[in-house]
């Protein structure tokens, strides 16, 4: 009896479906990452905006102006979107090191600042120009949402970056930054997982990475096999989702036409 109570409390059966689906998802990621390694290399489709990344860095170099990169106020380092943004930052930093272009990275979170310093420093070393790395360019500006917005706005208005990367989790500050960027004629590449802010980026920026595209972008830019493998895993899961949806809709329709109450087996 005690054992049963212990087992019950050890595993929350309400979350059984999520547990099983998590295991399936994990298995798919492991499969694409480790077992397909020797198969034909996986490539991903063209993503609008990503071809513009190098152009944006080149533009900043030609105009002898800095490039501004900020991950938004809405996320912290625990958020997968921030990790995806750090991946893109790594690529961008390597290029700015090669082109000797100033990279400015203001953030609201001191932990993101610490990680970004690590990422950029390593990218500069990898590019062969460790001496071009300027730690002060990666700075903490304020944890307050509009303090951060005002600070980044100030940097944009005064340093007039030629290119601006707004990649991460944004909230209401998104349009303040994007419009200030537009006012100085900067090329702007944005991407976020905040669904509401996406609409502002679409309207105000030159290129916008929509949700999942932000995660795929780092694989596309770096050509990193493990990231590409996870994009492939995401696509496999999407096919499974499509099959599930079509099956469930057909099932629901048949139940509806036959007059039986819907069983809702697809709700878990």
Partner 1 sequence: MNRQIPLIVCFSFGLIMFLQYFSNHTIARTMNLAILDYWQIIFAFTLVLGVVSYIKANMTKISRGIDRPYLIVGLLGMISMPIMALIWGIKADSPFMWMFENVQAPMASTVFALLAFFVASASFRGFRARSMQASILLGAALIILLSRSNLPIPYTEHLSEFADWIRNYPSMTARRAILIGIGLGSLTTSMRVILGIERTWLGGEK
Partner 2 sequence: MDISTIIAGLLTLIIFSFLYKDNPFYKMAESLLIGVSIGYVLVITWSNTLMDMLFEPLFSNAELSLIIPLFLGLFMLGRFSDKTVALSRIPIAVMIGSGAGIAIPTMLYNRTIKQLTASVMPIFTESGGLNISGIVVIVGLLSTLAYFYFSREHKGKFGAFAKLGTYFLMIFFGTTFGYTVMSRMSTFIGRMEFLLSDFLKITQ
Using CB atoms within 10 Å of the CB of residue 33, give its burial: 0 to 12 exposed, 13 to 18 middle, 19+ buried: middle
Phi, psi dihedral angles at 50 (to 5 degrees): -75, -30
Cβ atoms of 97 and 124 within 8 Å: the answer is: yes
Partner whose footprint covers residue 242, from partner 2, partner 1, none (CB < 5 to 8 Å by kind):
partner 2
Two structure tokens written together for 151: 């600070």
The C-alpha angle with vertex 26 and arms to 32 and 84, in degrees rounded to 5, equals 75
Output 103 or 198, the one with its CB closest to partner 1: 198
Size of residue set near partner 2 by CB under 8 A: 70
User: Binding mask 157-186 vs partner 2 (x if CB under 8 A, - otherwise)?
Assistant: xx----------------------------
203 binds partner 2 (CB under 8 A): yes
Is there binding between residue 184 and partner 1 (CB under 8 A)?
no
By a kind-dependent CB cut-off of 5 to 8 A, residue 123 interacts, out of partner 1, partner 2, none, with partner 1
Question: Taken in order 231, 237, 243, 244, is the CA torsion positive or negative?
Answer: negative
Q: How far is CA 251 from CA 179, 256, 267, 268, in A?
A: 48, 9, 13, 16
Q: How far apart are CA 4 and CA 200, in angstroms?
A: 53
Tell me which residue of 16, 27, 106 sits closest to 67, measured CA to CA: 106
- The interface region with partner 1, picked from 35-43, 52-60, 78-86, 247-255 by CB under 8 A, is 78-86
d(CA 198, CA 191): 7
Structural contact between residues 101 and 60, judged by C-beta atoms closer than 8 angstroms: yes
| Of the candidates 134, 124, 92, the residue with the CA atom closest to the CA atom of residue 221 | 92
CB of 265 to partner 1, least distance (A): 19
Near partner 2 by CB under 8 A: residue from 3, 39, 185, 267: 267
Residue 166 to residue 162: CA distance in whole angstroms: 13
**Least distance from partner 1 to the Cβ atom of residue 49, Å:** 14
> From the list partner 2, partner 1, none, which binds 255 (C-beta under 5 to 8 Å, kind-based)?
partner 2
Q: Which of residues 30-59 bind partner 2 (CB under 8 A)?
A: 42, 44-47
Asked if 231 is part of the footprint of partner 1 (rule: CB under 8 A), the reply reads yes
When asked if residue 226 is in the footprint of partner 2 (CB under 8 A), the reply is: no
Binds 139, which of partner 2, partner 1, none (CB < 5 to 8 A, cut-off by type)? partner 1
Residues near partner 2 (CB under 8 A): 15, 17-19, 21-22, 25-26, 42, 44-47, 76-80, 83, 111, 114-115, 117-118, 141-144, 146-147, 150-151, 153-154, 157-158, 195-196, 198-200, 202-203, 210-213, 216, 231-232, 234-235, 238, 241-242, 244-246, 248-249, 252-253, 255-257, 259, 262, 266-268
């Amino acid at each position: 009896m005690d054992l049963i109570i212990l087992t019950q409390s050890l595993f929350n059966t309400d979350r059984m479906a999520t547990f099983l689906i998590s295991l399936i998802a994990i298995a798919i990621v492991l499969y694409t990452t480790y077992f397909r390694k020797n198969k034909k290399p996986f490539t991903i489709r063209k993503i609008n905006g990503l071809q513009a990344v190098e152009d944006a860095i080149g533009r900043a170099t030609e105009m002898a102006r800095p490039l501004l990169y900020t991950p938004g106020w809405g996320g912290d380092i625990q958020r997968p979107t921030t990790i995806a943004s750090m991946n893109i930052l790594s690529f961008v930093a390597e290029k700015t090191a090669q082109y000797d272009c100033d990279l400015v990275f203001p953030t609201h979170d001191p932990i993101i600042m610490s990680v970004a310093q690590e990422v950029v420093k390593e990218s500069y070393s990898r590019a062969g120009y460790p001496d071009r790395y300027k730690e002060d360019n990666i700075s903490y500006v304020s944890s307050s949402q509009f303090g951060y917005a005002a600070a980044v706005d100030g940097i944009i208005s005064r340093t007039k970056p030629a290119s601006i990367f707004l990649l991460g989790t944004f909230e209401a500050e998104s349009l303040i930054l994007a419009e200030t960027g537009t006012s100085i004629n900067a090329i702007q590449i944005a991407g976020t997982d905040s669904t509401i802010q996406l609409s502002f980026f679409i309207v105000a920026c030159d290129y916008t990475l929509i949700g999942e595209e932000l995660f795929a972008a780092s694989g596309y830019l770096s050509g990193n096999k493990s990231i590409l493998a996870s994009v492939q895993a995401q696509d496999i899961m999407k096919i499974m989702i499509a099959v599930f949806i079509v099956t469930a809709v057909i099932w629901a329709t048949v139940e509806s036409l036959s007059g039986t109450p819907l069983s809702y087996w697809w709700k878990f």
